[in-house]
Structure 1
Amino acid sequence: MISSRPHVLRTATTSHCIPEEPMASPKSTAPSLTYSSSSDEPEEPPRPRRASTKLISQSAADVQRLIGVPGTRLIEKCCGGGCCMAVTKTDTLTFERVPLPDNDAFRALQLKVGLIPTTLSGLPDVPAKTFSLESVKNASATAAPAESTVSVETKDNSTDFTPHTVETVKIDTSVHPPNFVQPHPPYNVYSAKIFSARELTRPGAEKRTYHFDLDVTDYPEELGVDFKVGGAVGVMAPNEPEVVDEMLDLLLIPRFLRDRPVLLKTGGGRWPTVWGEEQPRELITTRRDLVTWCSDIQSYPPTKHLLRLMAEYTTDPNQKKVLLYLCSAEGQNVFCDFRTGPHVTMSQLLHAFPSSKPPLDHLLSNLQQLMPRFYSMSNDPHESCVPRSGCSRLIEIAVTVHETNNWRGGPRTGVGSGFFERQARKFIEAEKRGEKPDLRVPMFKGLMANPLAKEFISDGPMLLIGAGVGVAPFRGFVQRRLKNANCANKVWVLQGVRDSLLDELYSGEWGVHEDEVKKVVQSRTGGSKGKYVQDEVRAQADLVWFIINSLDGRVFVCGSSKGMGEGVEEALVEVAMMKGNVSREEATEFWGLKKEAGQYIAETW
């Protein structure tokens, strides 16, 4: 970080309130974080096949012999994702070989399209168009809706999107969503200025993680809702501008029309809001704003209705046959592989079938809405301030960049994490030039009553188990606990990382005596076999059992559900079996009851 910027002030703590490790004496009832070596658990031997089972069929001919259906041909396919099936067709069905699109985007779809039946069944109807875009006469004189005029220009020429009662001007939708893109009342999207940004991981880390300090000093009051330790903020991240322009280019929408005001008329539902009331709407907007802020054009796999819509507006007959085949009952197996195969974006589909040019309003009617992304706060929001005009309030979040393969051969970032990475890089590069950029994050208070925030209490021992960016909210928990006057309160952290030299988050930022409070578990270190955080949970069985059976004791788990979350849950069950001398069923029920009582809290994704 640049040393010339203002320093963040935090409430000082006294050494006598730092949680100390329980002394190894008969009077100490709380176990401490113990040393443990890598636990090499032997793998369970494969379960032998039951003697009562017998393989009775291996081919379609065997099935036909068993079911005794003459005069039919069974086409047996597996459509991926566990949905294997046998489709019965008559012998009179004819097939043809259709030339496939010859482009890189189509080849990247990896569609195994062979012979296509000349007659297709089960085709869905062309999906309905739920809204329309109409030209606005005398567009320059048309006023924007009243609710979207909430910004003013400040003296330092930076844009302030906080609602004001003074005369307002139109929102700059290049950095902030139109006001009709909003969550449920009382929340409104607030333009939080980035006070600082830095990369937490180091070069060579498998995943990049960034830290942000967001200035929310002027966040408007919302019916008593306030930022809370362990809470999550919602972010209305836009689609990347280059991706938006690429899609509009593919749809042959002239550039001079993209920012021209249009009248949006809907027949009902919530579109283009996020969580608004279901009702018809008439709004003045632009085509670019609808694609940028309202439609998810890259996160969801294609549906049959979307492919049917593309087929309806496809001029090339062969491309149309392939699209209709994917929608049909006969193409169900290929469609299932398509849905469970490589990640597909809307732009890739339009590149793969270049003669498909559906109208924008009809296309957007059948795409998913662009939903907010939620990020847990990594600080105690009541303890961070900047000494500027009194005390400017900050909230802190950590964001890990999510990447998937792009059909062009490079990585593609997620909507939310990609937006944050672009903002972080702009901020860091501007600071290197000696500038203080005015970069914003459109956010709202979001989930202040999520499980992590709801079950946080200031009394009782606490064990925090997390991996990757899942440890971010625990930093705020430790900050709140260390400032508590009751020195009997205990807190321990088990943090899972790949390599502590590359991707250990917030190293040295947990407070004094960090080494006694926190233990880092590395899964990949120096080429030797590492250890996962669930292995450390088993090694710390005494500590786990003490905490979960203490008055107001809490065990928190946060991170990815796949791998870490499942592994920790299994480890906790094994701890209960061992320390409680109970069966697996009884141990599972034990943790279920602790979850109902709010003592075992798992927030995984």
Structure 2
Amino acid sequence: MVILYNFQEIYEVCSKTQVLNLPKLKENLPEIRYEDDVVFCTDYSIPSLHLPFADTGIYNFPICESKQLTAEDGDCKVVYEVTFDIKNSSFNFKPGDTIGIIPHNDTDSVNYILEHLDLTSKSDSQYHLSWGTSQNVKLPPHLPVKSSLKVVLTRFLDLRSVLKKLFLLSLSRHTKDERERKVLEYLCSREGSAAYNTHIMNKHFCILDLFTHFKSCKPPIEILLMNLPRLLPRPYSVLNSNLKNPDILKICFSVVELENNRKGLTTGWLENLSRESTIERKLEKLSLKECNGVPIYLRKNITGFSMPEVVETPLILIGPGTGIAPFIGFLEERQYLKETKDIQLGKTWLFFGCRNPKLDFIYEKELKEYLDKGILHKLSTAFSRVEENNGVKYVQDAILQNAEDVAKWIKEGASIFVCGDVKKVAPQVKSAIQNCLIKNGDTEQEATDLLSDMVAKKKYLVDIWS
């Protein structure tokens, strides 16, 4: 057995603890039966799975083009733009909409779990789950009654989810090594709450990590099936206008880098599919690996995050990093409307922020073209890793630097759109805008009331993520 240094410390602590206050655990596990000589199918205990905020069913769209938007070798998050082929699909969207992408767990992770649990020989067999004499417990609604372990671990269960205490306790009961078992019990006890937060919660410790560090933990697969949560869709902003080209759908995303040399589940998966969609890979494989396309559905735009129907309305658009995505669609559609219908557009001001203009100023060329064509009237930038930028590191700094004009645009009826991180971007941007109003004559209460009124009238709209 090998316990990493951090867990060795925990073992030394818990070995001195005489009694642990453990949560109550009542295991109700279904019976699993493998059926080798049957026609394979995936069947649920309920008619269909609920898709969060779904406005359509699921489409499988192939990637027809992809490109990296950031510098190849730079100190910044890697950002890709991916184009999906949606010809003849009746998939109607508009700038400001979001799609849900249903990710897959990677093959290596799935195979690792199957090998660890000595289930490789059963991975492709159809299983059947039943309760036997236990009638008071139901299967999780996302878990198929009939399927295969490989399909379920790939498509339905979140292998990256943080392990909850009851799950840890259940796993500890199937851990043969005494020291490993004691560490797991301590982590899910009342006495080990601080250690749980430090080593499990804060480090996003998942079932893959547990099997790596606690080699003797080999639970029945039913425990994973009942405790791993559903693999949920991830939302992404639409990048383009379907008025200009109804046959394609674009998104952009930054690849999330995690501990243990892992990447974000969906962004890492999309990155791999993007690389396989290059011409060379198409000639070699002629299709995407693991699926005939990426499972996508359109989400309801419940916040109304879309351009005003009155095109003369001035717009203030605020989107650092990939938060710029919906606004590229805004600008593309406004250019299309101007060129095809010869209409007068309201002024548009975009605030954009990134680390370094030489590394991750995505869509710089396109934005300059929109400026030249009068689609975009003002562009304010902020670069957090550039010292010679007059102290403007973040978009909120750029907003405050232009306080007088920002206040003037708002008083002239501008609508404000903010796209970015819920904890960092959204509150700081709103505070900066409020300060702009205060600096130009409003009291704090008047500024607060004005922004509240704009929110109520959908003139201050926010598209945020965590």
TM-score class, shorter: 0.7 to 0.9
Q: What do the CA deviations read for 1:460-489 (whole angstroms, capped 9, x no partner)?
A: 100101100000110011122232443141
The answer as to whether partners of 1:109 and 1:344 remain within 8 angstroms in 2 is no
Q: What do the CA deviations read for 1:67-117 (whole angstroms, capped 9, x no partner)?
A: xxxxxxxxxxxxxxxxxxxxxxxxxxxxxxxxxx534xx336686454335
Distance in 1 between residues matched to 2:382 and 2:300, nearest whole Å = 29
Other-structure match for 1:210: 80
- Residue 277 of structure 2 aligns to a residue whose secondary structure is helix
Q: How many Å apart are 1:195 and its aligned residue? A: 1.3
Aligned match for 1:425, one of 261, 267, 275: 275
Other-structure match for 2:265: 415
Aligned match for 1:262, one of 127, 142, 156: 127
- Residue 524 of structure 1 aligns to a residue whose secondary structure is coil
Q: What do the CA deviations read for 1:532-590 (whole angstroms, capped 9, x no partner)?
A: 21111012223322332334x2111111234333321221121121123312x443343
Other-structure match for 1:242: 108
Aligned match for 2:165, one of 292, 300, 304: 304
Distance 1:132 1:210, change over 3 A: farther
Q: How many Å apart are 1:355 and its aligned residue? A: 1.1
- Residue 62 of structure 2 aligns to a residue whose secondary structure is strand
Aligned match for 1:500, one of 346, 357, 363: 357
Distance in 2 between residues matched to 1:124 and 1:456, nearest whole Å = 55
Distance 1:297 1:400, change over 3 A: same
Distance in 1 between residues matched to 2:220 and 2:43, nearest whole Å = 29
Which runs of at least 4 in structure 1 moved beyond 6 Å after TM superposition? 433-436
Other-structure match for 2:396: 534
- Computed over aligned residues only, the root mean square deviation of the Cα atoms, in angstroms, reads 2.8
- Residue 227 of structure 2 aligns to a residue whose secondary structure is coil
Q: What do the CA deviations read for 1:236-290 (whole angstroms, capped 9, x no partner)?
A: 110111111112222221x2210111113475365326xxxxxxxx632100111
Q: How does 1:439-518 map to 2 (within 5 A)?
A: 439=288, 440-453=293-306, 458-482=311-335, 483-484=337-338, 485-510=342-367, 511-514=369-372, 516-518=377-379
TM, length-normalised to structure 1: 0.67
Unaligned runs of 5+ in 1: 1-100, 148-178, 274-281, 386-392
Q: How many Å apart are 1:200 and its aligned residue? A: 0.7
The structure carrying a bigger helix percent of its residues is 2
Q: How many residues align?
A: 442
Aligned match for 2:198, one of 334, 337, 348: 337
Distance in 1 between residues matched to 2:345 and 2:419, nearest whole Å = 25
Name the aligned partner's letter for residue 542 of structure 1.
E
Distance 1:261 1:434, change over 3 A: closer
- Residue 404 of structure 1 aligns to a residue whose secondary structure is coil
TM, length-normalised to structure 2: 0.86
The answer as to whether partners of 1:471 and 1:495 remain within 8 angstroms in 2 is yes
- Residue 350 of structure 2 aligns to a residue whose secondary structure is strand
2:242 matched to 1:375?
A: no
- Residue 241 of structure 2 aligns to a residue whose secondary structure is coil
- Residue 413 of structure 1 aligns to a residue whose secondary structure is coil
Other-structure match for 1:84: none
Aligned match for 1:396, one of 250, 255, 268: 250
Distance 1:523 1:328, change over 3 A: closer
Aligned match for 2:38, one of 141, 148, 154: 141
Distance in 2 between residues matched to 1:435 and 1:313, nearest whole Å = 45
Q: How many Å apart are 1:435 and its aligned residue? A: 6.3
The answer as to whether partners of 1:181 and 1:294 remain within 8 angstroms in 2 is no
Distance in 1 between residues matched to 2:95 and 2:308, nearest whole Å = 10
Q: What do the CA deviations read for 1:347-393 (whole angstroms, capped 9, x no partner)?
A: 111122211111112122112211000100111122125xxxxxxx1
Q: How does 1:38-437 map to 2 (within 5 A)?
A: 102-103=2-3, 106-107=4-5, 112-116=10-14, 117=16, 119-129=18-28, 131-136=30-35, 139-142=36-39, 144=41, 183=51, 187-203=56-72, 204-219=74-89, 226-253=92-119, 255-265=120-130, 267-268=137-138, 270-272=140-142, 283-298=145-160, 300-385=161-246, 393-406=247-260, 411-428=261-278, 430=280, 437=286
Q: What do the CA deviations read for 1:486-523 (whole angstroms, capped 9, x no partner)?
A: 31412111111111111111122244435744333222
The answer as to whether partners of 1:231 and 1:449 remain within 8 angstroms in 2 is no
Q: How many Å apart are 1:217 and its aligned residue? A: 1.9
Name the aligned partner's letter for residue 107 of structure 1.
Y
- Residue 337 of structure 1 aligns to a residue whose secondary structure is helix
The answer as to whether partners of 2:392 and 2:398 remain within 8 angstroms in 1 is no
Distance in 2 between residues matched to 1:460 and 1:287, nearest whole Å = 54
Other-structure match for 1:558: 419
Distance in 2 between residues matched to 1:442 and 1:565, nearest whole Å = 29
Name the aligned partner's letter for residue 319 of structure 1.
E
Q: What do the CA deviations read for 1:211-256 (whole angstroms, capped 9, x no partner)?
A: 01111123257xxxx3122101110110111111112222221x22
Distance 1:109 1:320, change over 3 A: closer
Distance in 2 between residues matched to 1:238 and 1:541, nearest whole Å = 45
Name the aligned partner's letter for residue 208 of structure 1.
V
2:405 matched to 1:543?
A: yes
Distance 1:554 1:418, change over 3 A: same
Q: What do the CA deviations read for 1:15-74 (whole angstroms, capped 9, x no partner)?
A: xxxxxxxxxxxxxxxxxxxxxxxxxxxxxxxxxxxxxxxxxxxxxxxxxxxxxxxxxxxx
Name the aligned partner's letter for residue 69 of structure 2.
L
Distance in 2 between residues matched to 1:524 and 1:548, nearest whole Å = 30
Other-structure match for 1:87: none
Distance 1:565 1:443, change over 3 A: same
Other-structure match for 1:603: 463
Q: What do the CA deviations read for 1:161-220 (whole angstroms, capped 9, x no partner)?
A: xxxxxxxxxxxxxxxxxx966627773321101111111111214100110111112325
Distance in 2 between residues matched to 1:227 and 1:341, nearest whole Å = 37
Q: What do the CA deviations read for 1:127-179 (whole angstroms, capped 9, x no partner)?
A: 5346443222xx333352689xxxxxxxxxxxxxxxxxxxxxxxxxxxxxxx9
Distance 1:108 1:208, change over 3 A: farther
Distance 1:143 1:428, change over 3 A: closer
Distance 1:496 1:109, change over 3 A: farther
Unaligned runs of 5+ in 2: 132-136
- Residue 508 of structure 1 aligns to a residue whose secondary structure is helix
Name the aligned partner's letter for residue 249 of structure 1.
E
The answer as to whether partners of 1:125 and 1:308 remain within 8 angstroms in 2 is no
Distance in 2 between residues matched to 1:435 and 1:507, nearest whole Å = 34
The answer as to whether partners of 2:55 and 2:298 remain within 8 angstroms in 1 is no
Larger Rg: 1
